[in-house]
Amino acid sequence: MKNLVINSDDFGMCHSVNIGTIKGFKEGILTQTTIMAPCPWFEEAAKLAVETDIPCGVHLTSACEWNFYRWKPLTNHKSIVQEDGSAFSTIDELKKKVDLKEIEDEYCKQVELVMKRGVKPSHIDAHMDLVDAGVFANVCRKYGLKSRRPLGDKYKDCMFHFDSYNGISAKPAKEKRAWLENLLNNMPEGNHFVMVHLSEPSSEMESITSDAILKPWAQEYRADDYEMLLDPKFKKLCEKNNINLISLRDLK
Tell me how far apart the alpha carbons of residues 106 and 117 are, in angstroms, rounded to a whole number.
17
DSSP conformational letter for 38:
T
Q: Show the low-confidence residues of the chain (pLDDT under 50).
A: 213-214
Tell me the Cα Rg of the chain. Answer: 17
> Minimal CA–CA distance to 127: which of 152, 96, 148, 155?
148
- Residues 174-231: pLDDT tens digits? 899 999 999 999 999 999 999 999 999 999 998 898 775 446 568 888 999 999 999 9
In the prediction, which pLDDT does 68 show? 87
In the prediction, which pLDDT does 28 show? 98
Helix locations, the chain, DSSP H: 15-27, 42-52, 91-95, 100-116, 133-143, 173-185, 203-208, 219-230, 232-240, 248-251
In the prediction, which pLDDT does 216 show? 56
* Domain residue limits, the chain: 2-251
- Give how far the C-alpha of residue 137 lies from the chain's centroid of Cα atoms, to the nearest Å: 18
- Give how far the C-alpha of residue 246 lies from the chain's centroid of Cα atoms, to the nearest Å: 16
Interstrand relation of 190-196 and 124-126 (parallel, antiparallel or unpaired): unpaired
CATH of domain 2-251: 3.20.20.370
The residue type found at 240 is K
